[in-house]
Structure 1
Amino acid sequence: MRIAEPPRSLRLTIDREALAENWRTLDTLSGDAATGAAVKADAYGIGVDIAVPTLRDAGCRQFFLAHWSEVPAVLAHVEADAVSILHGVRNAEEAAFAKGTGAVPVINSPRQAAIWRDAGGGTCHVMVDSGMNRLGMSLADLGDPVVQSLQVDALMSHLASADEDTAQNADQLAVFRKAVPLLAAKRLSLSNSAGIALGADFNIDLTRPGLALYGGIPHPALRGKIRQVAFPQAAIIQTRDLSPGDKVGYNAKWIAERPTRAGTVSLGYADGFMRLMGQGSALHFGEHELPILGRVSMDMVVVDLGESGAGEGDFLDVPFDLPDLAARSGLSQYEILTGLGRRFERF
């Protein structure tokens, strides 16, 4: 007999319409280019089973992952030829998996090109390193006979500093333009979320937004155009009355100066709520702001319940405006978003 799982003390509400609208906004900003979606890392923590169908129904036809282990979950919602794996094929086993599933590898080196050829080849993408020195081929690599033999759908590169007003953007575009005549490809792809905001020269045939789909603002030009998608909540699991002098949490970083009604909340850095996010922060109960007392621990934080009336079992809203949270904590929006843990029940 299967025992039903009890309700969780962490929940994450996903605004599907905001997610779809963000994709439509980025699609419009992409101009004549088609707009894909990066759904790696469980759709940046939002959840593939929620994000992929929502994006598919909004009109997205190209989905990008990093690992082959991420493929099966996405194939439950879209056809295999719509799925691309950015890390390419590292060995014969990955190439065989690609052939077996029909997902499309992004070839990053002549060695990967040879692995793909030896597995029987077929449609692939090719990544060019235009100055990030992470993954991708050099311009010289593109002349390799094995690379030249590939059946290339998209010739791609990745912008390193599209969120900044820097000469690196133009430099990378120039390198990418030099790559275009060196390898036959059906289409070109350069821009991520921030790159879309750089305009038509960067958007070309296919854009690959990620962070902005899920509520992040990687470029000032996107502010006011992107909606928050994820809304975390955490339950109070115990309340207590503190007296002056009582200490809270690890290393006693907070000491009560007055009688305080405190609540222990089921939320910690194992759930992506890092210690840096807790400093000077607060959770919310309706219109009430509940300051965090002391350090964030792995599974719990303590808050000042004040006059809110919140008690055991009540859910508190966790602030999740990504640009604001990043500015206050010093963490990147990517770190905050992808840090959402598996213990959240997603709605």
Structure 2
Amino acid sequence: MRPDRMPVVEIDRAALIANWRMLDSRNSGAKTGAAVKANGYGLGAVEVATALFEAGCRDFFVAWAEEGAALRGTLDRLQADASNASADPRIFVLQGLEPATVPLYLARNLIPVLSTPDDIAVWQAGLRATTRKAPAAVQFETGMNRLGLTSKDARLAADLAASGELELCLVMSHLASADEPTSQSAEQLERFRALAGLFPSVPRSLANSAGVFLGPDYAFDLTRPGIALYGGEAGPGSSEAIRAVARLTASVLQVRIAKAGEAVGYGAAARLDRDTRIATVGIGYADGYHRAASGAGVGMRQLRPGAEAILAGRRVPVLGRVSMDLTLLDVSGLPEDAVRPGARAEFFGPDMPIDAVAQAAGTIAYELLTALGPRVYRRWV
């Protein structure tokens, strides 16, 4: 049972589904998958996948085979219980494979995304050793210089596919700057078209969350949104369409008055220029609320103000350094009877946009979500 004073992230199931359906509606000619890696961006991969399956999603993307294996049983049960005869759910594993994991891919019906010639060789050797046939996907390098086959390697893969030695169900690449006003996305699009053309009968996928908002040229056959599903912005024009999914709150443990001239928190980082009412809240960087969100005492605070939270319906600033378990809020501007021990402050959510908090901490919404620690109780609403 969760003690009432511990931090909680409330996850809005209806908002998650609405975000997927909104993204799905933007490109009617393409199917819409979902990135559920990193434990569903920190919110619970099984719960996320269950909600999105019920919304109509059938293509799921994870980073590691173990993540996919943990999902397979849930998705198979959902498929068995489904009233319609829709396509079986597919789980793509983005980070290649090694020989020891091939049996896991085959046993749990996982689809490897092959990004190197070694990936292809390992997959072929594993299939030969088990006399099995199974589909794979291939990923191209189109400008991100991260994972993907070079144009030369892609041609070799195309020869294997044409000869029947490599069964492919998807070719893909990844956009590096789709959320920024740059020419890179258009350049990647042209490279992807050229490489995908080597595989004329294989479905194609390029668009991530931000790519969905670039229009139908980027949609191809399957889009793979991630952060937009979970309430994060995905480039210009996206924030109005995306609903907040996660609401992180924590409880006020104590309220005190500190006098002008006194110091606050570790390192005496904040020196008060007036009498200040302080609410001590039970959340810190061990819970995933970053120290970089501090109101003072970290290097980046010379560049921008610290983060804020919502308490009693008003924005209040973080005061001093965020510590491992505790964060201080300056509640001097609130009515005295509005803040009591047990009151809950919202650190991000519908009233405190996660991207604004991320910007104050010098990071991105992805990191705030995936950093949520095991002490944060996940509650689906």
Bucket of the pairwise TM-score, normalised by the shorter protein? over 0.9
8 Å contact 1:143–1:182 — kept in the other structure?
yes
Q: C-alpha separation between the residues in 2 aligned to 1:343 and 1:185?
A: 48
Please tell me the residue identity of whatever aligns with 2:141. Answer: D
Counterpart check, 1:111 vs 2:118: yes
Alpha-carbon distance between aligned partners in 2 of 1:117 and 1:166, rounded to the nearest angstrom: 39
Write the distance in 1 (CA, Å) between the matches of 2:373 and 2:160: 40
Output one character per residue of 1:62-104: Cα deviation in whole Å (capped at 9) or x when no partner: 0000112212332242138511100021x21111211111111
Correspondence for 1:335: 367
Amino acid at match of 2:152: A
CA distance in 1, matches of 2:328, 2:191: 52
- Residue aligned with 1:140, SS: helix
RMSD over equivalenced CA pairs, Å? 2.0
Letter in 2 for 1:105: P
CA distance in 2: counterparts of 1:272 and 1:281, whole angstroms: 14
Map 1:226-305 onto structure 2 (within 5 A).
226-279=242-295, 280-305=306-331
**Post-superposition offset of 1:291:** 2.6
Q: Alpha carbons of 1:56 and 1:62: their partners in 2 closer, same or farther (altered >3 Å)? A: same
**Separation of aligned partners in 2, 1:319 and 1:5:** 20
Native 8 Å contact 2:293 2:361 kept in 1 = yes
Deviates more, 1:146-155 or 1:37-46: 146-155
- Give the distance between the partners of 1:147 and 1:137, measured in 2 at CA: 14
Determine helix, strand or coil for the equivalent of 2:75.
Answer: coil
For residue 90 of structure 2, what is the amino acid of its counterpart?
A: A
Aligned residue-pair number: 343
Q: Which moved more, 1:92-101 or 1:225-234?
A: 92-101
2:338 corresponds to: 309
In the TM superposition, residue 33 of structure 1 has moved relative to its aligned partner by 0.2
SS at match of 1:312: coil
CA distance in 1, matches of 2:222, 2:33: 7
Cα distance, 1:215 vs structure 2: 0.7
Distance across 2 between alignment mates of 1:81 and 1:284: 40
Deviations 1:301-329 (A, max 9, x none): 11233325322232211134133223333
The answer to whether the aligner puts 1:209 opposite 2:225 as a matched pair is yes
Alignment-mate amino acid for residue 228 of structure 2: A
Deviation at 1:164, TM superposition (A): 1.8
Give % identity. 38
User: Does 1:97 find its partner at 2:104?
Assistant: yes
For residue 119 of structure 1, give the secondary structure of its aligned residue in structure 2.
Answer: helix
C-alpha offsets along residues 79-131 of structure 1, whole Å, 9 cap, x if unaligned? 38511100021x21111211111111111111111111111151111111111
Q: 1:222 maps to which residue?
A: 238
Contact 1:37/1:209, CA 8 A, preserved across alignment: yes
Q: Secondary structure at the match of 1:336?
A: helix
2:301: which partner in 1? none
- CA–CA distance in 2 between the matches of 1:173 and 1:282? 39
Question: Is the 2:293–2:307 Cα contact (8 Å) retained in structure 1?
Answer: yes
* Partner of residue 9 from structure 1, selected from 2, 6, 10: 6
Bigger shift: 164-173 or 21-30? 164-173
Question: Could you tell me how far 1:6 is from its partner in structure 2?
Answer: 4.0
Give 1:109-258 correspondences, 5 Å limit.
109-120=116-127, 121-144=133-156, 147-148=160-161, 149-183=165-199, 185-258=201-274
* Offset, 1:213: 0.5
- Secondary structure, counterpart of 1:222 in structure 2: coil
- Normalised by the length of structure 2, the TM-score is 0.84
Provide the rounded CA distance (Å) in 1 between the counterparts of 2:362 and 2:330: 24
Match of 2:112, SS? strand
Partner Cα distance (1:305, 1:104) in 2: 52
Report if aligned partners of 1:235, 1:314 keep a CA contact under 8 Å in 2: yes
Distance 1:8 1:40 in 2: 29
Letter of the structure 1 residue corresponding to residue 146 of structure 2: R
C-alpha displacement at 1:41, in angstroms?
0.7
- Select which of 59, 62, 79 maps to 2:59: 62
Equivalent residue of 1:17, what SS? Answer: helix
CA offsets 1:220-261 (integer angstroms, 9 cap, x no match): 121311111110001122333323333211111112344433
Q: How far apart are 1:170 and its partner, in Å?
A: 1.6
CA offset digits 1:36-62 (Å, max 9, x no partner): 000011111122132111111111110
> CA 1:165/1:303 → structure 2, altered by over 3 Å: closer, same or farther?
closer
Partner amino acid for 1:157?
S
Measured in 2, the distance between the counterparts of 1:192 and 1:174 equals 16
Q: TM-score, normalised by structure 1?
A: 0.92
SS at match of 2:9: strand
Code of the residue aligned with 1:86 in structure 2: it is L
Residue 42 (1) aligns with residue 71 (2)? no
Point out where structure 2 has 5 or more consecutive residues left out of the alignment: 77-87, 128-132, 296-305
Deviates more, 1:38-47 or 1:240-249: 240-249
Mean Cα displacement is larger for which, 267-276 or 191-200?
Answer: 267-276
